[in-house]
Chains A and B, each alone.
Chain A
């Protein structure tokens, strides 16, 4: 039996891979990736980058106190405008909120909260949903019936309604929001994953593993889960955006991350009336941050959808 000269093949393969890599790089959605990378960096480095603390008011100078309150000493100066407007200063470049805290620092720490909540929440949802979807699809019969009926019932609950309902079960807190997102969104995954697994189950490599006497759990872990990852990834990237919005909406309605933590949605809710007073920067900056994050997540999701899952392309 002749050995096929796979070595030559592999040099070619390396060149091909490099070319493919370049093409992929060129086709990557650069703008959303850059925005996401920037936000992620800010989130991770917030304590280092932020010029001021997230909770404490910025200590004002004598002149500022005199200008605002006509006394030489005051605890803080609230509602300072951004640096380019009259009365603004470079020390607090995006102004201060009504408690005299630096808007920029809070936005930076807010990126942290938004990303943590959205990513971990979606991750947990993905994990639960994928697992249940695989179980339903692969174990079949009662597993399938029970899990899918629950999924169906779950899906009929509008997500925000459900999130609000859940959030009033427990006291608000960051990790509760994560839990809520996980509990709300898993059903999206389980439905999609189940369909995928139903198809996979009929593939030969799964049958082969069964005939080989490989345990069901091993099959699920080694064969099924890796193969539904594409679908899960696409869903994940699209859900992250939704999760950010839900988190912001929950916080805005007072059901989310409690103050004084600087969640963007909460910052907007707290300064909701400031917009009317002309202090637009307290409302527009967090709003823009949310929009930017969700927009880039959505763009990335769209791109992934086209590239990872041709079946989903037209949906």
Chain B
């Protein structure tokens, strides 16, 4: 087991290193950020000074080594566009993304789990088809389309919901009380983006719930419970649901991260100041350190999560340990 964990850890490190290298290379292919900041007609001395202060005048391998060694010390560098340390900006935005992701996750649960249960209980029925349709529709409508329509209907025509960003409450790093109030305030701002994002994921939720339920309902254990004369509603509510929710919940952590990562379009549409919008801004400005930082942080989260899942599965199922 120790060896297995070690090997998995080594793989994760290699993956991260590759990720770092890919990002570093790709970002540098996207063009010259100095030209963006200095505009036409900037005086050459200033441009040179900017280039120097951003470390872009060094040969590529020096930039790379410097980048990696700073990373190892937890330093992501300074944003070109936002003039502050990347880490500070990222952690300022992360709570916003998590809030949106979490709300969207709740939406996807609220939509996916009941429909998933219904379609598992009544396979090939009208409910089954309707549920599948709702889920597939969520998967098939581009997020910006859903977002735009929502804004027009609920924001402009009906005027029920605010359309701009997350509202005034924000997490202030020095003040822990704001961390709590942040989660409970300005929920009206959250409704539309969370719905638009959550709908997309409800399809996956529905599928997992449905197949989990089907597996459990078909198991000997449930047959036994039924034989014992337990009423069907209790079978479903207490035994089947409980067991089939395990995969849904294990899936949840990953899903939440994926949501944080795919939310770019939604965040742009709703002007939600999350990590996605930050990345979009950074990309549109060739803000190398910011792009590197955000992508690496999201990659790091996924790698760590994958590692954890691998190790947990390794504990649960010894065969996996031997297979690789």
Contact = CB atoms under 8 A, between A and B. Distances in A.
Contact of B30 (A165, A272, A283): A165
A275 B145 CA distance: 11
Contacts of B261: 158, 161
A269 B280 CA distance: 16
B206 to A, nearest CB: 12
A141 B310 CA distance: 21
A302 B10 CA distance: 36
A158 B258 contact: yes
B312 interface: no
B299 A156 contact: yes
Contacts of B211: 313-315
B129 to A, nearest CB: 11
Contacts of A315: 207, 211
A291 B286 contact: no
Interface in B1-56: 11, 14-16, 18-19, 22-23, 26-27, 29-31
Nearest to B137: A295
Nearest to B16: A153
A302 B299 CA distance: 29
A252 to B, nearest CB: 5
A160 B295 contact: no
B interface, how many residues as a size bin? 35 or more
Contacts of B303: 156
Interface string A101-120: 00000000000000000000
B137 A276 contact: no
Interface residues of A, number: 41
A157 interface: yes
A275 B148 contact: yes
A128 interface: no
B142 A152 contact: no
Interface in B150-179: 152, 156
Interface string A278-307: 001001000100110011001100100000
A165 B11 contact: no
Contacts of B142: 245, 248-249, 252, 265, 268, 287, 290-291, 294
A150 interface: yes
Given A153-B18, A295-B140, A268 B283 contact: no
B98 interface: no
12 contacts: A149-B11, A149-B15, A156-B302, A164-B264, A165-B295, A168-B286, A169-B29, A169-B31, A245-B142, A253-B265, A253-B268, A268-B145
